[in-house]
Structures are given as structure tokens and as C-alpha cells.
């Protein structure tokens, strides 16, 4: 059994899980399948399971942005650095936050040099500003790209070097500055996660940096901020949240604590994402999507992810496309691939998405039908949101498949995919998704 390692150190856990001969669903931290998907805190032998759950302090609710300044003060800020992007500046939220910081006696250094899929050189430039201005606390207001860039700056502030030096798990040795994260999209989960995803511009890929130190000190989730998202970003980040929930639920590193949040996130996205597209100013649906993104983040930062993300990172690094859109294309294919040898974990996922009727708990045929229904439902949602049918429509070619597949095999997220996948499997998945 690999109980403690699997929940204490993500990197060790994923290796341990990959080496485990135990079938998925019966692993050390996985729950028995009776009833489907309802994990218990005891193993089949009655031994209490161990589960560790990383989480920042969270403040959730409309209007909570005003608390960000107090959070910074509590964390010792004298000269906070506010990381954001030009789109958010145009929407006015950083100005509002700076006013709150000023009320608390803090003058922020505002830096908005981040682009989508944040680049290694942008993080280096932000770090120069952090040091030159003598900053001491990082406050990020933005989507996943802004928050990942802020984490990268914090990492360099504490540890030096280049951001690409830290690819992998727990590669940073020294403490990093306190971080307050204010997400402006409903999907990435970066505000609660131990992930930092950065584009390595030398290799045209996205690298995954993973570590407990990257879990922010505070996440402030204000659904009001979601109302200024463009529709395409709402769609993309909502699909990202759905992918986080589904991949976390079937991950080899899932546990009873992550299962609850994963299923709740899946259900909330299934019920509310399309409504936010049709009624963008409706606060109730926005608040539900903010909760979905938060719970998906809580699930995946602890359970890690799977093949859809491992593949998506490579496509995103190659073509600088919205991460959630790529996930939306890939996810139905990855569901089918993962469900083929054992579809049972996909029954609760299908039910969370609204599968009509009942599935007998031990029916493999029924579970397979449920998994296929879930794959089709994800594709239906993607269609409703205007997501392309295949990767070919967004610029991936057959010639890209071998190198994308090779790089996928090196992505940390693949290690927790419930089904082993080799080069041929990943190439076949990419070709199916073209």
C-alpha cells in the first residue's frame, strides 16, 4: 500500500500509483465501487484510509473583492505586487482593487505584462519588476494565465533562476512570498491549486510545475468579476472546470475528499454553464459556476488530472490556443479510452451530468452505456458552446501527432490517468480527436 506517499507528495504518489498492480478503482486511496462512486473512509479490510487535502483560506461570495486588501495586510504586505492583464485593466477591476489597497494603506505595484498561456520570458520580466520595486506579497487578479504567472514570479522571488528550472514536482527548495489570488474566470482553479502551468517558448510546450508551496495563502472568489468575461472565455474556462472535475474523479490519486468536490463541480457545470452563456448577467448562475470552478480546483489540485490535460498542455504550447477549448475537444475521446477497460467510475459522472434512468451498481454493460452517454453529453455541451469538432479545425495536423504524443508521455498529468497509455495509445487518441 502507498497510502501516505500517495497523498503527501504528488510526484511520489503518481509514480507509486503507476507502479501499482492494483486495478483502478481498487487502489490505495480509491473507494470501493459500492455504491458506485461513493467513496468511504475505510478500505475493504476496515483499515482507515489516509487522505490529505491541500486548501488555501477561501473567501467566497459576491462583493468579496473588497476583502483582498485586508488579506494582503494580514499576510504582511507593505509593498504588494498586483499581477493582472490588460483585459482586466480595461474592465476596471484592478483599479477597484488598488482603491481597496489604498484604503488599507498599501500602494501596489501593478504589472500587466501577461498574455494567455503565460510565457517563460513574461514571468522573468515580472520577476524583475518584483525585485526592482521591493515587493513583498503577490496579489493576482485575473484568469488562470495571470494566476499562473503570479505563482511563477513568486517562485522566482523565493528561489531565483529560470522558471523552466522548476518543471516537475517539488523542485523549489526555498519559501516563496505570500500569495492572494482573485480569479476572474470560472474554470481554471489556479487560485486554489498547487499547479503552475507555463509555456516553455524554447520547446513550444507547456510545462507543469507542481508543489505544495504553490498553493496560495488565500483565494478570494467574487462572482461579480465573472460578468465581464467575454463569452468565449466563459465557455473555455467552464469546459476546463468540467474537465478538472471528470479527470479528478477518475484519477488514480482520487480520494473520498476529492470525490465529493469533483462530482459537485461536474453537476454544477452541467446545470449552469450554458445558462451563463444565455443569461450572462444573471448572478445566481454565475455564482454557481464560480462554485463549480472552485470545487473542481479543490478536487484536481489534490487528485491531480489525466490524459486530457497531459495532451492539452502540448497542443496549447504548440498553438497558443485557449486551454479549455482544447480540453473540450479532447475530453469525450479520453472518456471513451479510459472507460473501455473499466467504466464503473463514469456512472456517477454521468449521473452528475443528468443521466436519465438508473444503472444497476454491478452492471458493466450499464456502466459502459453511462460512460458513453457522459462522453456524448460533454460533446453536446461543447457543441452548444461552439467548440470545434476536432483538433484539425484549430490547426493541429497529422504531422504534429508523433511529437505531441511523445511530449504527452512526459507530462506529469498523465501519471494519474486511470488507464495506462503508451505512445501508440496517445497517438491513436490524437488521431481520433483530429
Least distance from Fe ion to the Cβ atom of residue 297, Å: 9
Residue whose CB is less far from Fe ion, 108 or 239? 239
CA 268 – CA 384 distance, rounded (Å): 16
Residue whose CB is less far from Fe ion, 240 or 259? 240
Three-state SS string over the chain comes to: CCHHHHHHCHHHHHHHHHHCCCCCCCCCCCCCCCCCCCCCCECCCCCECCCCCCCCEEEECCCHHHHHHHHHHHCCCCCEEEECCHHHHHHCHHHHHHHHHHHCCCCCEEECCCCCCCEHHHHHHHHHHHHHCCCCEEEEEECHHHHHHHHHHHHHHHHCCCHHHHCEECCCCCCCCCEEEEECCCCCCCCCCCEEEEEECCCCEEEEEECHHHCCCEEEECHHHHHHCCHHHHHHHHHHHHHHHHHHHHCCCCCHHHHHHHHHHHHHHHHHHHHHHHCCCCHHHHHHHHHHHHHHHHHHHHHCCCHHHHHHHHHHHHHCCCHHHHHHHHHHHHHHHHHCCCCCCHHHHHHHCCCCCCCCCCCHHHHHHHHHHHHHHHHHHHHHHCCCCCHHHHCCCHHHHHHHHHHHHCCHHHHHCCCCCCHHHHHHHHHHHC
CA 98 – CA 93 distance, rounded (Å): 9
Least distance from Fe ion to the Cβ atom of residue 327, Å: 6
| Contact present, 100 and 69 (Cβ < 8 Å) | yes
Residue whose CB is less far from Fe ion, 191 or 240? 240
HSE-up (13 A, CA, CB side) for residue 283: 5
Least distance from Fe ion to the Cβ atom of residue 262, Å: 13
Residue whose CB is less far from Fe ion, 135 or 292? 292
| CA 208 remoteness from chain centre | 11
Residue whose CB is less far from Fe ion, 180 or 310? 310
| Contacts (CB under 5 A) with Fe ion, residues 319-338 | none
Least distance from Fe ion to the Cβ atom of residue 49, Å: 27
Least distance from Fe ion to the Cβ atom of residue 44, Å: 33
Cell of 134: 521591493
Q: By beta-carbon distance, which residue lies closest to Fe ion?
A: 240
Residue whose CB is less far from Fe ion, 246 or 368? 246
From residue 48 to residue 67, the character string flagging contacts with Fe ion as x (rule: CB under 5 A) and all else as - is --------------------
Least distance from Fe ion to the Cβ atom of residue 188, Å: 6
Residue whose CB is less far from Fe ion, 167 or 240? 240
Least distance from Fe ion to the Cβ atom of residue 247, Å: 8
CA 355 – CA 422 distance, rounded (Å): 31
Least distance from Fe ion to the Cβ atom of residue 30, Å: 22
From residue 134 to residue 163, the character string flagging contacts with Fe ion as x (rule: CB under 5 A) and all else as - is ------------------------------
Residue whose CB is less far from Fe ion, 64 or 237? 237
Residue whose CB is less far from Fe ion, 85 or 240? 240
Residue whose CB is less far from Fe ion, 193 or 276? 193
Residue whose CB is less far from Fe ion, 240 or 342? 240
Least distance from Fe ion to the Cβ atom of residue 330, Å: 11
| Contact present, 15 and 170 (Cβ < 8 Å) | no
Paired sense of beta strands 205-210 and 218-221, if any: unpaired
Q: Which residue has the cell 483582498?
A: 68
Least distance from Fe ion to the Cβ atom of residue 399, Å: 26
Site size toward Fe ion (CB under 5 A) is 1
Least distance from Fe ion to the Cβ atom of residue 175, Å: 26
| Contacts (CB under 5 A) with Fe ion, residues 208-267 | 240
Contact positions toward Fe ion, by CB under 5 A? 240
Amino acid at each position: 500500500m502507498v497510502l501516505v506517499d500517495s497523498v503527501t507528495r504528488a510526484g511520489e504518489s503518481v509514480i507509486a500509483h503507476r507502479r501499482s498492480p492494483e486495478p483502478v478503482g481498487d487502489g490505495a486511496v480509491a473507494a470501493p465501487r459500492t455504491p458506485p462512486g461513493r467513496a468511504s473512509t475505510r478500505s475493504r479490510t476496515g483499515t482507515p484510509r489516509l487522505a490529505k487535502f491541500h486548501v488555501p483560506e477561501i473567501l467566497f461570495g459576491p462583493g468579496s473583492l473588497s476583502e483582498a486588501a485586508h488579506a494582503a495586510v494580514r499576510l504582511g504586505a507593505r509593498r504588494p505586487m498586483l499581477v493582472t492583464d490588460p483585459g482586466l485593466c480595461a474592465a476596471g477591476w484592478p483599479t477597484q482593487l488598488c482603491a481597496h489597497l489604498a484604503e488599507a494603506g498599501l500602494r501596489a505595484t501593478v504589472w500587466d505584462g501577461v498574455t494567455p498561456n503565460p510565457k517563460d520570458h513574461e514571468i522573468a520580466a515580472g520577476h524583475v519588476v518584483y525585485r526592482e520595486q521591493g515587493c513583498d506579497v503577490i496579489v493576482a487578479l485575473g484568469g488562470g494565465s495571470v494566476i499562473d504567472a503570479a505563482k511563477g514570479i513568486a517562485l522566482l522571488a523565493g528561489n531565483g533562476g529560470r522558471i523552466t528550472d522548476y518543471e516537475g514536482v517539488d523542485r523549489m527548495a526555498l519559501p516563496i512570498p505570500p500569495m492572494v489570488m482573485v480569479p476572474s474566470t470560472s474554470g481554471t482553479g489556479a487560485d486554489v491549486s498547487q499547479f503552475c502551468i507555463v509555456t516553455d517558448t524554447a520547446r513550444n510546450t507547456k510545462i507543469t510545475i507542481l508543489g505544495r508551496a504553490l498553493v496560495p495563502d488565500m483565494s478570494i472568489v467574487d462572482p461579480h468579476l465573472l460578468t465581464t468575461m467575454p463569452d468565449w472565455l466563459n465557455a473555455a474556462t467552464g469546459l476546463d472546470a468540467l474537465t478538472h472535475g471528470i479527470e479528478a474523479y477518475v484519477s488514480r490519486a482520487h480520494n473520498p475528499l476529492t470525490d465529493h468536490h469533483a462530482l459537485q463541480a461536474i453537476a454544477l457545470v452541467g446545470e449552469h454553464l450554458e445558462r451563463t452563456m444565455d443569461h450572462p448577467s444573471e448572478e445566481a448562475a454565475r455564482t454557481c459556476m464560480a462554485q463549480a470552478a472552485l470545487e473542481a480546483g479543490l478536487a484536481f489540485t489534490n487528485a491531480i488530472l489525466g490524459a486530457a490535460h497531459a495532451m492539452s498542455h502540448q497542443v496549447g504550447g504548440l498553438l497558443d490556443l485557449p486551454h479549455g477549448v482544447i480540453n473540450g475537444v479532447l475530453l469525450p475521446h479520453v472518456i471513451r479510452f479510459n472507460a473501455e477497460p473499466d467504466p464503473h467510475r463514469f456512472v456517477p459522472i454521468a449521473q452528475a451530468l443528468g443521466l436519465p434512468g438508473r444503472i444497476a451498481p454491478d452492471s458493466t454493460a450499464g456502466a459502459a452505456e453511462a460512460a458513453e452517454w457522459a462522453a456524448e453529453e460533454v460533446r453536446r455541451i461543447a457543441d452548444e458552446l461552439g467548440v470545434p469538432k476536432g483538433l484539425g479545425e484549430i490547426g493541429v495536423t497529422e504531422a504534429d501527432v508523433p511529437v505531441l504524443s511523445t511530449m504527452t508521455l512526459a507530462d506529469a498529468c498523465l501519471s494519474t490517468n486511470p488507464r495506462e497509455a503508451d505512445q501508440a495509445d496517445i497517438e491513436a487518441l490524437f488521431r481520433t480527436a483530429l
